[in-house]
Structure 1
Amino acid sequence: MTATQILWMAGVALVSYLLGSVSWAVIVGRVFLKDDVRKYGSGNAGMTNVLRTAGKGAAALVAVGDFSKGAISVLLGRLVFQYALGLDPIYGAYLGGYFAVLGHIFPLYFHFKGGKGVLTSAGAAVLIDPISVALTAVVFAAVTFTSKIVSLGSIVMALCYPVITYFVSRALGRDPVTVTICAVIFAAIIIFMHRSNIGRLLRGEENRFGKKKEKVQK
């Protein structure tokens, strides 16, 4: 690997991280609430917290923004690896996707306090493996609308994603090893970021959607 290739890869990682650092929950929250959404509810800079505090319209804007930055980062990685480096674009796609998610979780522009990375991961994954994402979306919808707990749907979806990725890759005649390992990393990030939710689920304290959140008490 040459120094030029390393610089290109570092550039993909940096641009993807900076793009991921654009926290749409904070930006939209300031427009709709005239305040920082991280002061409310779970304190999380994500679509679910915006939905509970600012409503469906604001949440839809956040969803589009968070999803798009994952997708754009994957597209950037693909293009650079394929046309600038002459390497397998799948690796560029995952590189861009991972750093977009890291930017979302630890946003440079907002004191490194961001969201949990679900929608940004979905935006990245849908450009990498749309069939697996479609199937995991069905799992998410089924669990979420049955339980009315968004975090439970996200956790179960993350657990299922590597398994679904493996079998879809085999069914399509592709080598499942690389994509499954990468899917495991995405899933591990999401589950780790939901560790506090897992604790509340085990205690029976997790909020169900439809219940408005109160401002975080200092």
Structure 2
Amino acid sequence: MASVLAILAAYLIGSISFAVVVSRLFGLSDPRTYGSKNPGATNVLRSGNKAAAALTLLGDGFKGWLAVWLALTFKEQYELGSSTIAAVGLAVFIGHLWPVFFRFVGGKGVATALGVLLAINVWLGVGTFVTWLVVAYAFRYSSLAALIASLFAPFYYGLLFGPDLTLLAVAIMSGLLIYRHGSNIANLMRGKESRIGSKKK
């Protein structure tokens, strides 16, 4: 029962869309109505408000970290096994993609996935973030950086810990992240993808 509640709580935490909440607090347009129409930090940045974008990024990343950290902190008290920890990480990520509080219209999960990885292992998260950073700096495409980093994340985990259920969860997150970037992949292939920092139209 404790495992089920932990997974459900993680999903609900993930369902908090900081892009929408922060935009409302700053009096900005709903990020689901402009740019890529994705409720995420990159799209909020297109509003021109860097503070709102930064808070969105931190909030989405923090909720991923928080859900896994809570599960790890209380795993002995509530007898949460490694399979539950893996499921919690996946649940908070899925909550971001399909949030129950926002009619199941969520973001693409980059920041939340990073938060999950950091909670699992700091070096895993840092390695994945550095991969994103290098690609983003070199090509100025947030989506391309996210795609490449998501491909490397399971590889990094495997190097650190070997095959287990958490590796499976990380691989599923990577697959879902790539799936959610389908339109970005098409735009990249057509040369129409928006670069980091471009303003909304």
Q: CA deviation at 1:163?
A: 1.2
- Offset at residue 77 of structure 1 (A): 2.1
Give the corresponding residue for 2:139.
147
Q: Trace 1:174-193 onto structure 2 (pairs within 5 A).
A: 175-193=162-180
Corresponding residue to 2:50 among 48, 56, 65: 56
Q: Report the residue type matching 1:94 in the other structure.
A: A
User: Displaced runs of 4+ in structure 1, greater than 4 A?
Assistant: none
Distance 1:49 1:167 in 2: 33
How much does 1:94 deviate? 1.8
TM-score by length of 1: 0.86
Higher relative contact order (CA 8 A, sep 6+): 2
Q: Given that residues 76 and 93 in structure 1 are in contact (C-alpha distance below 8 angstroms), is that contact kept between their aligned partners in structure 2?
A: no
Take 2:198 and 2:188, find their aligned partners in 1: how far apart are those partners? Answer: 16
Who is 1:211 aligned against? 198
Q: Deviations over 1:107-143 (max 9, x none)?
A: 1111111101111111111010221221121111110
Query: Structure 2 length normalisation: TM-score?
Result: 0.93
Alignment of 1:14-25 (within 5 A): 14-25=8-19
SS of 2:47's equivalent?
Answer: helix
Unaligned runs of 5+ in 2: none
Aligned partner of 1:101 in structure 2 is 93
| Aligned-partner residue type, residue 129 of structure 1 | N
* 2:125 aligned partner: 133
Q: Judging changes above 3 Å, is the alpha-carbon distance between structure 1 residues 34 and 182 closer, same or farther for their aligned structure 2 residues?
A: closer
Q: Letter of the aligned partner of 1:180 in structure 2?
A: L
Q: 1:54 to 1:91 in 2, by over 3 A?
A: farther
Tell me which residue corresponds to 1:162: 154
SS of alignment partner, residue 26 of structure 2? helix
1:60-81 CA-to-partner distances (Å, cap 9, x unmatched) read: 1111111111111102222443
What is the letter of the counterpart of residue 111 of structure 1?
Answer: R
Whether the aligned pair in 1 keeps the contact of 2:10 and 2:88 (CA below 8 Å) is yes
Instruction: Give the Cα–Cα distance (whole angstroms) in 2 for the partners of residues 177 and 20 of structure 1.
Output: 23
SS, match of residue 192 in structure 1: helix
| Matched residues, number | 201
Name the CA distance, whole Å, in 2 between partners of 1:178 and 1:17: 18
In structure 1, list runs of 5 or more residues that go unmatched.
Answer: 1-6, 170-174
CA RMSD of aligned residues (A): 1.5
Sequence identity percentage: 35
Asked whether the equivalents of residues 29 and 50 of structure 1 are also in contact (C-alpha less than 8 Å), the reply is yes
